[in-house]
Amino acid sequence: MAAVKRGFPPVVDGDTRVLILGSLPGEASLAARQYYGNPRNAFWRLMERVLDTPHVALPYEERLLALLSHGVGLWDVIAEAERPGSLDSAIRDPAANDLLALIETLPSLRVVAFNGGTAAKLGGRLLGDGVPAIALPSSSPAHAALTFEEKAKAWRRLAPFARSNSAR
């Protein structure tokens, strides 16, 4: 039996306009205790493209603050699950985070974005039709079907929902 893996608390504030939901952090992220902590994961580079601001070179805590300053929050659909390794296909017995309860605390929320197919499939069921949602290609290095540029083009759909730094 695989060990139970637990995700991180949400990174949001009252100004969160975009909530990006992954599935469950992978091994490298759990070890680093950081969202998207695997250096091969394209998430932070994708966010640089979406927000037109640097993130990759920043220390982790500053990355989170930079996202929040643009109205972008993070969490995961799955609170905990059994999973050997990092692949979403290996997730067993997932327990969901209470997405609806979190969303109720976000008065400025305009859209939920799912990072990858597993997050979209599970999260879409939890949210139903009450919240506008966008399914995005996974930022994971395991999702190699698209090039970085193809992923970046899809992720740029978030830009109109985010806030410029000067608006805060």
Catalytic residues: 41
* CA quadruple 156, 161, 29, 135: dihedral sign: negative
The CA–CA distances, whole Å, from 57 to 6, 89, 160 equal 27, 31, 24
Residue 102, CA atoms < 13 Å, CB-side half-sphere: 25
- Beta pairing class for 4-6 and 78-82: antiparallel
How far, in whole angstroms, is CA 89 from its chain's centroid? 18
